[in-house]
Amino acid sequence: MGKTGFDKNLLKETEKFSNVTLNRKADLQLILENCIANNFFKEFEDLVFTGKYIEGLKRVLSKGADFNEIDNLDYVRKDLTANMEKILEEIRLTLSGSDSVTINHFENNYLSLTPDNFKRLNELLGDLEQVKKYLNFLKRKD
């Protein structure tokens, strides 16, 4: 594994570390390989950070109904909406330079707003969170 933690085996290593099978591994691999090919390491780090952040916001919202101490759920909802828009742009950015078939695949399966795409996007977000956890582990380990 390179110093940055980015190589084509990152997702396999993430699965081994987290003992979880990634739901959208093939598509995430396309993103990863495009980022490696175009030196989009910062963009990939931003993407996994935003994915993990969104997953945390979703957990806060789901638990917020159970806890009266979480007063400002409106702020959390607004933050979630803003970050969902942000991640769509980050996915597009990490795919810049990809061929039109790949770009169309992501537009048609993740980025256009349909219930099925939202489900796939949420699975991809869960995968991004696992990658971020693994990258955090690698940073702490060094």
Kindly give the parts of the chain with pLDDT less than 50. 1-3
**Residues 54/80, Cβ–Cβ less than 8 Å:** yes
**Residues 134/1, Cβ–Cβ less than 8 Å:** no
- Which value, in Å, is the radius of gyration of the alpha carbons in the chain? 16
Residue 49 phi, psi dihedral angles, 5° rounding: -65, -50
Residues in the chain: 142
Residue 40 phi, psi dihedral angles, 5° rounding: -95, 50
**Residues 79/91, Cβ–Cβ less than 8 Å:** no
Q: Could you count the other beta carbons within 10 Å of the beta carbon of residue 95?
A: 22
- For residue 32, the model assigns a pLDDT of 97
- For residue 67, the model assigns a pLDDT of 63
